[in-house]
Amino acid sequence: MAPSAIAFPGFAVPHALSRAEIAEVVESWRQAARRTREAGFDVLQIHAAHGYLIHEFLSPLSNQRTDEYGGSLENRMRFLLEIVEAVQTEWPADKPLSVRLSAVDYLEGGLTLKDTVEISKALQAKGVDLLDISSGGILSARIELGPGYQVRFAEVVKQATGLPTIAVGLITSVELAQEIISNGRADFVALGRELLRNPHWVLQAKPDPELWPKQYERAIPRP
């Protein structure tokens, strides 16, 4: 399923959702939020990045609808905002609600950082607590990679909205993570592939015996 019947290169043409089917997807999000609450999770994140369904609605490259869910940025973000509203009916107000966004599509005619700032302001108005700012994923694009290459997006969104942000993207060293937080460029740093490579990265970053599980005490690095 998708907002429009446009295939990602090499994949089958998706089914363009009807208005009734969009409502069904939004209801599925509400039910998922209920299950998340009942399971006892402390934070819920709506993933609206990386070419997944919500991002497809946000990006003009994948959304060519002519109804109230397509065209203007206001229309293209309608699906996301309806999901947020549905989730909030089930998710406790005293627990953080986060949304992950792709700040830019890296392609002409795609999402821009200016668009993402406007989307972020709309999410802020809806009561979202935390924004996780990534980028890309709607189509293959040339991206200049480097340590912390996406941090600037989180920094701009934080400055524009005042909301706490999560920075991501090739953050592999303690020094870089500390620089981001210390200089107020973002409020949190999230690690993905680095934790897959080294699940003990956080413990090794600060070998404080109070942070280590008892079973690991004999493995604490010594000066």
| Residue positions annotated with a catalytic role | 47, 50, 52
Ramachandran category for residue 59: left, alpha or beta (phi over 0 → left; psi -120 to 50 → alpha): beta
| DSSP secondary structure string for all residues of 175-219 | HHHHHHHHTTS-SEE--SHHHHH-TTHHHHHS--TTTS-GGGGGG
Contacts of 218 (CB under 8 A, 6+ apart): none
Count of all residues that appear for the chain in the document: 223
66 vs 182: CA distance, rounded Å:
45
